[in-house]
Homo-oligomer: A and B are copies of this chain.
Amino acid sequence: MQLNFNENFERMEKRYLFSEITARVAAYKSREGGSQKVISLGIGDVTLPIARCVANEMARAAEEMATREGFCGYGETRGLHELRGAISSRYKRLGAHLDEDEIFINDGSKSDLGNIFDIFGDIEALIPSPAYPVYLDACTMSGKRARILETSAKNGFLPSPEGLPKNPFLIFLCSPNNPTGATFSREELCEWVDFALCSGSLIIFDAAYEGFVRSEKIPRSIFEISGAKDCAIEVCSFSKNAGFTGIRCGWSVIPRSLSPVHELWSRRQATKFNGASYIAQRGAIAALSREGERESFLRTDYYLKNAKILAEALKEKEIWFVGGENSPYLWLKCPNGMKSWTFFDFLLEHAGIVGTPGVGFGEGGEGYFRFSSFASREDVLEAVVRFNKWL
């Protein structure tokens, strides 16, 4: 084949994080046999089953598809009217007025976070480190420039616009943050909106973990901030609150006031996307019903309780961390100045606990470590017993 390939792929970082973790765990298990159960605090995937009302609605949708009256072919690319309406109502309860035509249903946030680069020309993306790797990978793949905004323990691993040149950037923000669990206050998010407005930037706000927010002081949507409709897109998902990681459904909000972003994205999607699965969308509608929301609340509460137990244990050991409340993640400083992978090996070898090395989320994460609370209560309690023995 003599075609030219996209050379930007060569500039992408090799991502061996999770395969490296899998390999080290397998090696440990074959060495140790079954001497102690390996506990995973490493996964970013939910583990609790979906709500019965959501499952029933999807089953009903599936069965209806086999009937002449209930069959559904191609739907609107931007999603079911009823689902967009339910999301619009949800925003209304947060005090944000977004028309259902400003909502684009997708098959999960990852697609939109990656594909958004399609609509831009030569731009510079502002990407915090550590961060969800998709931001930087998709930026590099598309040949756009990236400016890394390092965060650290000093600012609680929260990026701030202070000291930045007033250039127009495509800014990636995530709160509650993956991987750090840090959350923006209303004031901090206001600063970013002000910066975006006065620099001509566009914020991509990743709200995938908003379902874990319990404090009134923490915005669940960037559209709770005045001015955001003129400088921000929000990408959100049913994955973490309603357990849709396998079902695949999320949404993006692109206000009509963001011209030509709204129009370009519509055209992009009409050309390269045919809508999320009808059955997943019917499930999403059920997840936004009163019963569905109550069930999601119970699930996120379960994980939050896990996070609290882990947070208490870290506090007791006087280990520095952020997150652990309003978030399923805890981001801790490795004890005794250990590097991320050293602590990974230490924890696995001695305590049989798997976590995620912070350096896997960018250089800024070196010396840090992520615990996730998507485990069973039993495992979390057992992990704490082992902490007490080894840390």
Contacts and interface: CB of A to CB of B under 8 A. Distances in A.
Given A52-B66, A66-B55, A279-B62, A4 B120 contact: yes
Interface string A223-256: 0000000010000000000010111110000000
A4 B73 contact: no
Given A5-B120, A71-B50, A107-B277, A272 B66 contact: no
A5 B248 contact: no
Interface string A96-121: 00000000000110110011001111
A267 interface: yes
Contacts of A279: 58, 62, 247, 277, 279-280
A326 interface: no
- DSSP majority for the A interface? loop
A7 B170 CA distance: 17
A95 interface: no
A267 to B, nearest CB: 6
A278 B246 CA distance: 5
A201 interface: yes
A168 to B, nearest CB: 4
Copies of this protein in the assembly total 2
Contact of A248 (B49, B65, B268, B274): B274
Interface stretch (A179-187, A257-265, A333-341): A257-265
B3 A123 contact: yes
A22 B376 CA distance: 53
Interface residues of A, number: 85
Contacts of A200: 1-3
Contact of A271 (B71, B137, B168): B137
Contact of A246 (B9, B74, B283): B74
Given A248-B275, A264-B5, A51 B66 contact: yes
A119 to B, nearest CB: 5
A55 B63 contact: yes
Nearest to A51: B66
A45 interface: yes
A54 interface: yes
Interface of A: 1-7, 9, 12, 15, 45-52, 54-56, 58-60, 62-68, 70-75, 107-108, 110-111, 114-115, 118-123, 134, 137-138, 141-142, 168, 170, 199-202, 231, 243, 245-249, 258, 260-261, 264, 267-268, 270-280, 283
